[in-house]
Structure 1
Amino acid sequence: MNLSFRSGIGRLKENIRTVPDFPTPGVTFRDISPILADGQLLRLAITLFTDRYQRKSIDKIVAVDARGFILGGAIANVLGIGMIPIRKKGKLPPPYLEASYDLEYGSATLTLLDGAVQPGERVVIFDDVLATGGTAAAAAKLVTEAGGNLIELAFLVELSALHGREKLKGHTIHSAIIY
């Protein structure tokens, strides 16, 4: 890892706001809003991922509702590829594939439009944060069920104390910032 890359990661990490007891008591929320609000930091975050995928022949970025859309869409745009949304249930019209999962403070269901990911397409799933791994595991299930070739799951932030990687065994994971 070169010095400029490490200093860029450091700049991003310094600008992530820590919010204790949100959305429920005992949960520490890592807020990336300050990065999104600063053009240079936003560009830096996008560049970290576009540089990584520039030569990997990725066909699609599959971005997870909702904050994953922001960076995932920008990454896809720079790479000149499509971005496919994975949405919370009730946000996409049928037909769709769905997968349910548990969160650290509840449960949810994700959906992917049927046919949005074509069999054999090389896909990177992008989300802002890897926490307990439930959301990412559900997204990976949807992409593989659709026939996509899941190259990697990518995250701006990983909360390692929540052991999300354990639910993603067998998948390649890249997190830019790890707490």
Structure 2
Amino acid sequence: MMMNDQEKETLLRTSVREFPDFPSPGICFRDITPVLKDPNAFSAAIDLFESYLRKNYGQIDAIAGLDSRGFLFGPALAQRFGIGFVLIRKKGKLPGPTESVSYSLEYGKAEIEIQTDAVDPGQKVVIIDDLLATGGTMSAACELLQRRNADILACLVLIELTALKGADKLRPHRVHSLLQYQ
């Protein structure tokens, strides 16, 4: 079944479930598991990411996905472009020489890392994850890739929680989200 971009976005929006007061009172959790369960919805997400990238970037050398849900969308998107997928993982999960960066979370600190040979200097890289909230993890990923002298083209997410202003933290990098919620 052929769908236009608006129909694909509508399918995605109706596929995301809301769980009020999870994991704590006042939080509305946006659950993407129905998107992953429905091949049409998942394909719509990949189609929309691909369309955005093809319209805006002539050359992309790699897609970098954030641990762990960026790993769900990134490889499928990289395959569409015939390019490699790069893992950005929680510290201690990658073998061989790595470079890491620590960043602040709401309640503490975290650390992510990349293998030192994952990207070459000057490579044009797109970063992908499922959700952009405060921007801490995505910002740390940008820092890691900049240390490897990569050229970050864009930060892609399925869902952006706009009230948390994560995109502001990522400037000057471009953020593209398929769905936005307050």
What TM-score bracket applies, with the shorter chain setting the length? over 0.9
Partner of 1:109: 111
The 8 Å contact of residues 68 and 126 in structure 1, kept in 2 or not, is answered as yes
Partner of 1:33: 33
Partner of 2:47: 47
TM-score normalized by structure 2?
Answer: 0.91
Paired AA for residue 49 in structure 1: F
Runs of 4+ more than 6 Å apart: none
Partner of 1:141: 143
Distance 2:178 2:106 in 1: 22
Map 1:14-33 onto structure 2 (within 5 A): 14-33=14-33
Map 1:65-144 onto structure 2 (within 5 A): 65-144=67-146
Larger deviation: 121-130 or 9-18?
9-18
TM-score normalized by structure 1?
Answer: 0.92
Residue 94 of structure 1, CA deviation: 3.5
Larger deviation: 48-57 or 11-20?
48-57
Matched residue of 1:144: which SS? Answer: helix
Structure 2: where are the runs of 5+ without partners? none
Structure 1: where are the runs of 5+ without partners? none
- Are residue 4 (structure 1) and residue 4 (structure 2) matched? yes
Render the CA deviation track for 1:39-63: whole Å, top value 9, x for unaligned: 1111111111112223621000000
What is the RMSD of the two structures over their aligned residues, measured on CA atoms? 1.6
Paired AA for residue 66 in structure 1: S
Between the two proteins, the alignment pairs up a number of residues equal to 177
Distance 1:43 1:129 in 2: 18
